Amino acid sequence: MGRSKFATAVALAFCATLLVMLPEVSAKRYIVGGNMGWTSNYNYTLWAGNQTFYLGDWLFFVYDRNQNDILEVNKTNYETCNAEHPVHNYTTGVGRDVVELNVTHDRYFISSKGSCYGGMKLHVHLTPIPPPPRAAPAKSYSSTISVLRTQLVIPAVFTIAAIWDSLLLHV
């Protein structure tokens, strides 16, 4: 084994370690409603009840931009489906909107297009103080998220490995 090949092997081993460690520390990105996305005639109270949200996680709203939108409202307006005076309008117009759960208080999201009354409203309550190693929560997170994370992390690791490799080969 040549010197640079050995260095490459070390680099790859390091990246493999990184790959194993990353999911433990990274925030999760939840696709709201899972495979259903953000749509009418779906009960997001039931969906949210199956998730465990922590500070730093992300909500990803996927929907038909011609049919829906995503507004953050206060508790009162969530209960009454009042879209006037939203706390924040997350609608960007492409049907893919991201919300960072970067504050600990409860969050309330609704669609202003009339479907709120049918259940198109989401209340997010954060679980305080995640256990140090983010070990197996009682409710397992959806496989979609694991797949997404893998899709993001693996290319990233291979990019790092490739850059590293090219640097080492030119020493």
Ligand X SMILES: *[C@@H]1O[C@H](CO)[C@@H](O)[C@H](O)[C@H]1NC(C)=O
What are the strands, taking DSSP E only, across 15-79?
29-31, 58-62, 71-73
For the bound state, the minimum distance from the C-beta of residue 155 to ligand X, rounded and expressed in Å, comes to 25
- From the list 6-14, 75-83, 147-155, 163-171, the region that binds ligand X by CB under 6 A is 75-83
Nearer of residues 8 and 51 to ligand X, judged by Cβ: 51
- From the list 9-17, 95-103, 122-130, 146-154, the region that binds ligand X by CB under 6 A is 95-103
For the bound state, the minimum distance from the C-beta of residue 169 to ligand X, rounded and expressed in Å, comes to 41
Pairing of strands 58-62, 29-31: parallel
Torsion sign over Cα 10, 16, 18, 21: negative
- C-alpha to C-alpha distance for 6 and 93, rounded to whole angstroms: 50
- C-alpha to C-alpha distance for 8 and 160, rounded to whole angstroms: 11
Contacts of ligand X in 115-134 (CB under 6 A): 118-119
Contacts of ligand X in 29-48 (CB under 6 A): 43, 45-47
Cα-based torsion angle of the residue sequence 64, 65, 66, 68 in order, rounded to the nearest 10 degrees: 80
Number of residues that bind ligand X (CB under 6 A): 22
Q: Which of 75, 131, 155, 162 binds ligand X (CB under 6 A)?
A: 75
